[in-house]
Structures are given as structure tokens and as C-alpha cells.
Amino acid sequence: MIEFNDVHKTYRLDRQKKVTALTSLTLSVSSQEVFGCIGPNGAGKSTTIKLLLDLIRPDSGSITINGHPANNEASRARVGYLPENPYIYDFLTASEYLAYSGRLSGMSPAAIKLRSEELLTKLKLDQAAKRRISGYSKGMQQRTAIAAALIHDPELVVLDEPMSGLDPLGRKLIFDLIAELKAGGKTVFISSHVLTDIERLCDRVGIIVQGSLRYQGGVSELTLPLEELFLQVVAEAGLSEVK
């Protein structure tokens, strides 16, 4: 479903100074799997996601989604995305926001209505669906953003810190939803700093440190807890501390 092949990305800070975000990133995510992307702050995780979604372009290398170039608009039509810090029009109600998101995805009014009702019920937002989002808690806003990412029933779901701001009930709802997505044949790409979530949710995991993929493998194949592996990989990369 996702292929990064020898991808490089640098950012220019000014006319003379550049910073390298990714170096020779080669990464694959199979269809119908849940893949976890982890790494220290500044490792290149957000850059990886932005490149995948064509929000920025690589300096070199190739990125494909389901066999199509990531910079091809058609390749992203079946992708749902939750940013780390989602922006929601909080003057709208949840129902209105999902309708807006559905229209952007080309859905019919009838399809939007059915899908919105389904997601609002699953995410325990149905009783608040007619209230303005500005009156929602942080967790309710996060669940609304997740519903918007899923409104068009995407084949690939990209979630950047999906558990942010969620209480135990919200976390359980998202855990169940991700399990349901996997059972329904969807592919899920998750970036998170909560390693216990990655270990519980994901089939495979990739660890990015200083812009390079330092580990990629199955969670069930780990010979030590993921947190210990993460710290070991970071130490082997020569980082004196995790920021």
C-alpha cells in the first residue's frame, strides 16, 4: 500500500544553511496491516507523513500509494488523514463538520448522512452531534477529527498521534475502531510516542532516528519489549538523550 524508496528530504533554514530531515528512507507498508512509525522528537516522522500526503515534495527518491505516485491526486482519493494538531471549524456542529468533510470527498448527501450517523454513534458523539464543536472537550474534538478522517471510508488511514487528549473511554473507542478498520481490510499507518499503544495495535513497526529508518519488523517477532528496543536503537544511533 505504501512504498518509500530511497527518499531524501532537506529543509533550507536560510540561504546558506540546510537541515536534513530524511536520509535514504526506504519503507514499505503492506495492504491490510496496521503499521506503527515511532522515533524521538525531530526524527522525521512528521516529514514522512507530509511527504506521503504530498504536502511537501522529496528532494529525491520515490513514494507510491497502492502503486501510484504519491503526488498523483487520484492516489490520495482513498486516504484519510488525522493530523497531530487537527484544525476544526469549531463554529460548526459535529454533524455539519462531517457533512463538510464528506462533500470535500465527493460524497452524496445520502451517503454522508448514513456514514455520519454511523461514525458519530461509534465514537459516542451522537448525543452531542447538534452542539457547536467550540463547546466540546479536547477528547471530543479529537474524536470528531477522527470521524472526519474516516467519513469517506478510506482504504488507507494515516493517524498522527490519534490518542492525543483522549480519556480512557476515548482511547478504548479508538482502539476498537482501529481493530475494526483492520478487520475490514483497511491499511492503517500510525505515528505515536505512546509505545504501549503501538505494541498493542500494530502488526509491524518502524523506528526512525535522525532521519533514517533504523529498524523495521513485526511486533510479534520482538525479542524484547518495544520500549527497550526503542531505547537501544536510539542509543546505537549515537543520541545521548531522547528529547
Residue-wise DSSP of 206-217: EEEETTEEEEEE
Cβ contact 38:195 at 8 Å: yes
Cβ contact 113:95 at 8 Å: no
pLDDT of residue 232: 92
Break the chain into its structural domains and give their ranges. 1-78+155-243, 87-152
Q: What is the CATH number of domain 1-78+155-243?
A: 3.40.50.300
**Burial (CB count within 10 angstroms: exposed 0-12, middle 13-18, buried 19+), residue 184:** exposed
Please count the other Cβ atoms lying within 10 Å of the Cβ belonging to residue 21: 24
C-alpha cell at 155: 482504504
Could you report the average pLDDT of every consecutive run of 10 residues in the chain (243 residues)?
95 84 94 95 92 95 94 88 92 96 95 97 95 95 96 96 91 94 95 91 94 93 90 82 43
pLDDT of residue 62: 95
Query: 14: alpha, beta or left, given left = phi > 0 and alpha = psi -120 to 50?
Result: beta
Phi and psi of 65, rounded to 5°? -120, 115
